[in-house]
Structure formats: structure tokens, C-alpha cells
Structure 1
Amino acid sequence: MTMALKGAFGMLSPGGPRGRLSIFIFHRVLSQKDPLFPDEPDARRFDEILGWLSKWFQVLPLDKAVMQLRAGTLPARSAAITFDDGYADNATNAMPILKRHGLSATFFVATSFMDGGRMWNDTLIEAIRKCQNDSLDLSDAGFGHFKLTSVADRRLAIESLLGRIKYLAHDQRSQAVAQVQRAVPIALPDDLMMTSGQVIQLRDAGMQVGAHTCSHPILANLTDSEAMAEITDSKMALESLLNEPVSLFAYPNGKPGTDYCGKHAAMVRQAGFAAAVSTASGVSSAVTDPFQLPRFTPWDRTQLRYGIRLMLNLRAAAPQVA
């Protein structure tokens, strides 16, 4: 099966001027499975996935892959691995597994959450996870009443709240999260995100570090000056920490035309980045905008289905905003 899939990927992802780059996107690698998020890979699952990818693809550092793609010299079956947000388990769990397989990855860090910060969505998730009651009344906040008698109930509550709050204006989103937190007055974890030292450890281990804004806002919901500040300040923060240029950027949430627009791609270019990635599915070719590179990771559990899903993605065209 491995040889057959490798041959198919070679046909769909040739080298040279017709090269096609697959970019994988991850967020976390958990120490053990999380019932609330059964599709989030744990260490064992991530190790299995990397075993497949290392046999099927030639995994390159993202900056090198982008340069070769634009120069028409990309090797056949090229791929890059990326992580978004900057979770601590990227350093504690993902990095050792990547090193064991001899692979590199790019880690996009939202800089405001380093050293004890917590992303707004994790505040909601952990509040629902740790709520000790069988129900949660958020009617005063305008979100209704939720049953919490089972894992499935809590998962539905999280999905509902994330969906309703994600696209609020930045200040409104912060207020909504604070209302939920007040309704669940319990200590929440402050070690979910990487420390500055862990970001440095990633770089020192041969990994790449990219910017992911400061506070992970929906750029399309910000004024132009606010968006530019989020983009440039995150770059400067990481460059100051690492004492080296940071050339790669990832759009928060990352849906073209919804979460960011063409003007934001122009801002990223203006800020001095060399390339940027979205969350649009598909693969990159020589004609792909280097500031809107698509990414895709299958969710299938078996090797065959995972491989077939990747083949389908290699045939897809990524939506972009020019």
C-alpha cells in the first residue's frame, strides 16, 4: 500500500515547474485523547501520521518549499508541516515526535498568549469542561441555557458558544467571554500556551517560528490600522525574542474572504513577510499567491482513507482573494 500511494502522490505532485506543495495544518498534539475533542490528535496518533507522511512525501521547511515552488525547482511529492496558535504541547509533545522522524515544522505563534496567557476560545472550552453543575444558564448573556450532563452535552455547548462568539467584534467577543467566565467562577489553566523559552527551544531544535498576530483576532473585523498593528507587532515581538528575521505568517482562522481579505494579504507583504498561509483547502502551485498558501490535513483514521483524502486534495484548487 505504501508504494502504491507513494506512486500516486508522485503522479499528482510532480517536481519542477509543475510542482505542487501540500501544506499540513495542526494545532495541538495532546498527551492523551480528549473526550471533548476526539479528532484532535494525541501523541500516538501524531506519531502514526508522521510515519505515513515521511514515507509518502519529501517534507521540507516551509520557507525553503515556498522558494523552490516559486523558482520551479520543487521536488516531487513535496510537503510542509505547520502548527497554529502556539500551544505548549507543540514543544512538549509535537517537537520530540517530529525530531524522532527527522522532520521539521513551522509553528505560528500568537504572541500575546505566551508566558501564561490563554486564548479566548480556550477560556470558553475550559469553563465548560470544568463546570461542576449539570447545567449552565447563560440567558443573561444572551446565549441561552445548556445541559452539561454528559460529554456530548458539553461538546454541543462548546460548539454553540464558539460559533456564536467567534465573529463578534473584538471588544464584544471579550465581553461575551468574560460573561461566561463569571458564570463559571472556577480557576482555569494558565499553562496551555508556550512560554518564551519553549518558542526558543523550537527554533534551537531546527523548527521554524512564524507570526500569527498578537491576539488572534478576525482581521476582517478590525480597522486597517488595528489589523496592521496585529500583523507587524507579532512579527517584531518574535524577532526580538529570537534575534532573527521572521518571514512567515498565518492568518487567524484563515478563511479567505471571511476571516481576511485581499487588503490583509497586502499588509502582510508590506510588513516584510515572505509568505503567508490560510486555512483554505487545496495545494499550492507556481501560480498560487505566496501570501495565500492553502493548507489541508485529512481527518480519516486509516492509512488508506487518509491517503485517498490527500490525493483528492491534490486535485483541488484553493479559493483565494486576489
Structure 2
Amino acid sequence: MNFFSTLFHSKIKLSILIYHRVLPESDPLFGSGGDIVDFGLQLKYLVRNFKVLPLFEAVNRLRDGTLPARAACITFDDGYADNEAIALPLLNKFGLPATFFIAAGFLDGGRMWNDTVIESFRHAQGNTIDLREIDLGLHTITTLPDRRQALFATIDALKYMDPKLRQTQVEKLANLIAADLPDDLMMTADQVRTLHRNGMEIGGHTMNHPILARLDDASARIEIAEGKAKLEAITGAPVRFFAYPNGKPGKDYLPAHVAMLKELGFEAAVSTAWGAARHGSDMYQLPRFTPWDKSEFFYVLRMLRNMMQAVQTV
């Protein structure tokens, strides 16, 4: 038993890791990290120090109190094409299972609103972006840090708008900047089937990735149910797990949405609250976290600190 095994031995908790994208190389717009090299290192650290389980097994063993020490799961949100093209081969190389929570409405050529903003800012020409016409300000983009700061400020301004208003604003933004935007960021239905054939779990993440707390109950239920049904039609298998879009308890989803998942037949759900789950945790509000350190020592140390985190739920 190595040093970290000793540290974790008495802490029978479930660490669920959350990822979104695995890029072929670092994206300069977002700084270092998030690429195939970093992901490969993190998988190596996980194999050495944790017992990585399929989410289905981990949830069942969490319920009945038989979870092994240092248990962990790997999850991905949204349904980016690089999950199948880049992440899947690495997961197979290490023999690791993962769960992919997919916003089904963006499959086969769709694009999430935030990616429309990101790619518009990435390809914008000149030294400024003038969005005053749509009340989103005038932004300097002379340097890469300027462009990054402007992008983050704009996304923050849009994130919690009414979904219909936000979509209208995003479309106007794209028209004002007039950049060529990609249509291959998200998975195809065939890529979803490939993940399923490779033994990966496919989970629900709504149809269009709205912040559920900003919808009326009927609309929220439709988003959840239709996303589940579409993914089940693609794979021919039940969708058992769900990830709340954005995922902050009490802000992005509410107790009513937890109740909806139970009524719609989901077996468990994950949030983006930090922490680790233990026997007796709410199975419909499981916390998630991913350390970002490049050294194994600090990577595992951060995982340990997260295991001691108190989990906030609604």
C-alpha cells in the first residue's frame, strides 16, 4: 500500500470527477490545460491511486455501504465531439469506464450558446468588439488577455438571462461580430452509439442545457424528459443518470427538479457542488470535482482535501 493509499484507506467516500472537453492541444484563449496530455496524466494518477468504478456500480455500492476505499468515477458533461474522438481512446487505453451526460438537442450539428459566444470572440477581427447595440458593452480585444476577459464578462452577463432572451441576444451577438462559426463541436448520434458500444454510460443533461431554475416546472420537465427519450432512442438502452446543467444547488436547480428526476425514473443525479459522496448522501445530488494539478502529489492531495469538503445541497 503506497503513501496515498494509506491516507485514503479510512475515508470511504466516492469522488466523482467532472470534465467537459479534451482538446488535442491547449486552447490559448483559455490558457494552459484541458488537453490530451493533461487528461492522460490525470488518468494515470487515477489508476495509481484510486479504484475507478462505473457510475452504476458506484451508486449501488454507495447505497448499500460496500463502496471500496478511494472509489472514484469519471464523468463528462454536454456532449462534445472530442469526448468520443480524443477522450474515449485514452479511457480504453487505461481500461477506465466513464459516464457521458449529453445535452441531446445539440447532437448532429448543433452548438451550445456559450460556444457561439466563445467562437465569435475567438475569431473577431480588429481591436474592439462593440456590443452596445444589444446592451453587452464595448470590449477591447487588442491582446489575448483582453479578449479572454471580454469573453468571460460577456458569458457572465448572458448566463442567467431568461433562456429565450439569451438566445436572441446570442444570435444578435453572432450577427454583429459576423465570424465563421464551427458546426462540428458537438457529438453526432453515431458518436453517442460508439461510446455506448464501448461500455460507457450515457446520461441525461436535458435537451438544450437550460438552467432549470430559470424555467417554469412544465418546461423543465419537458427538457429533462425529452433529452432522456432521445438518448434512449439512439442507444436502445435506459438512461439511468442525470447531470443538472450548470449544476449549482439552489441556484441552477431546485428541489422540484430533484423530484422530477425521481418521477421520470432516473436512479441518481450529479451536481457541480464540490465534495465527495458517502453512505447516506442524497443520490440525486451527488457532488463532483476535478483537481487540475500537474504533479501527482498535488493532484492526489487536492483530491484528499475535496473528500473532506462539506457538500451543500438544496
Give the TM-score taking structure 1 as reference length.
0.96
- Aligned mate of 1:129, from 122, 132, 137: 122
2:269 maps to amino acid: A
CA distance in 2, matches of 1:134, 1:38: 20
CA distance in 2, matches of 1:55, 1:291: 29
Deviation at 1:6, TM superposition (A): 2.3
Counterpart residue number, 2:150: 157
Counterpart residue number, 1:99: 92
2:215 maps to amino acid: L
Counterpart residue number, 1:34: 27
- Aligned mate of 1:280, from 273, 277, 284: 273
Per-residue deviation, residues 157-186 of structure 1 (Å, max 9, x unmatched): 110011010000011110110121011112
Structure 1 window deviating more from structure 2 (30-39 vs 88-97): it is 30-39
CA distance in 1, matches of 2:267, 2:306: 25
Q: Secondary structure at the match of 1:108?
A: strand
What CA RMSD, in Å, does the superposition of the two structures yield over aligned residues?
Answer: 1.0
Whether 1:8 and 2:1 are equivalent positions in the alignment is: no
Q: Secondary structure at the match of 1:188?
A: coil
Uncovered stretches (5+) of structure 2, i.e. residues with no partner: none
1:140 maps to amino acid: E
Deviation at 1:40, TM superposition (A): 4.4
Per-residue deviation, residues 201-239 of structure 1 (Å, max 9, x unmatched): 001011111010000000000000000000110000011
Counterpart residue number, 2:178: 185
Counterpart residue number, 1:226: 219
- Aligned mate of 1:173, from 154, 159, 166: 166
Residues 38, 11 of structure 1: alpha-carbon distance in 2 compared, 3 angstrom cutoff: farther
Per-residue deviation, residues 251-288 of structure 1 (Å, max 9, x unmatched): 00000000000110110111110000000000111111
Question: Does the 8 Å contact 2:50/2:72 carry over to 1?
Answer: yes
Counterpart residue number, 2:286: 293
2:242 maps to amino acid: F
CA distance in 2, matches of 1:92, 1:28: 11
Counterpart residue number, 1:195: 188
Structure 1 window deviating more from structure 2 (33-42 vs 135-144): it is 33-42
Per-residue deviation, residues 104-144 of structure 1 (Å, max 9, x unmatched): 10000000100000000000000000112211111111111
Counterpart residue number, 1:17: none
2:11 maps to amino acid: L
CA distance in 1, matches of 2:156, 2:33: 18
Q: Percent identity?
A: 47
CA distance in 2, matches of 1:143, 1:116: 27
Per-residue deviation, residues 185-208 of structure 1 (Å, max 9, x unmatched): 122000000000000000101111
Question: Does the 8 Å contact 2:41/2:294 carry over to 1?
Answer: no
Give the TM-score taking structure 2 as reference length.
0.98
Whether 1:319 and 2:300 are equivalent positions in the alignment is: no
Q: Secondary structure at the match of 2:311?
A: coil
CA distance in 1, matches of 2:8, 2:192: 33
Deviation at 1:39, TM superposition (A): 4.9
Whether 1:263 and 2:256 are equivalent positions in the alignment is: yes
Structure 1 window deviating more from structure 2 (175-184 vs 216-225): it is 175-184
Whether 1:214 and 2:207 are equivalent positions in the alignment is: yes
Structure 1 window deviating more from structure 2 (246-255 vs 69-78): it is 69-78
1:261 maps to amino acid: L
Question: Does the 8 Å contact 2:246/2:252 carry over to 1?
Answer: yes
CA distance in 2, matches of 1:65, 1:267: 22
- The count of corresponding residues between Structure 1 and Structure 2 is 314
Counterpart residue number, 1:243: 236
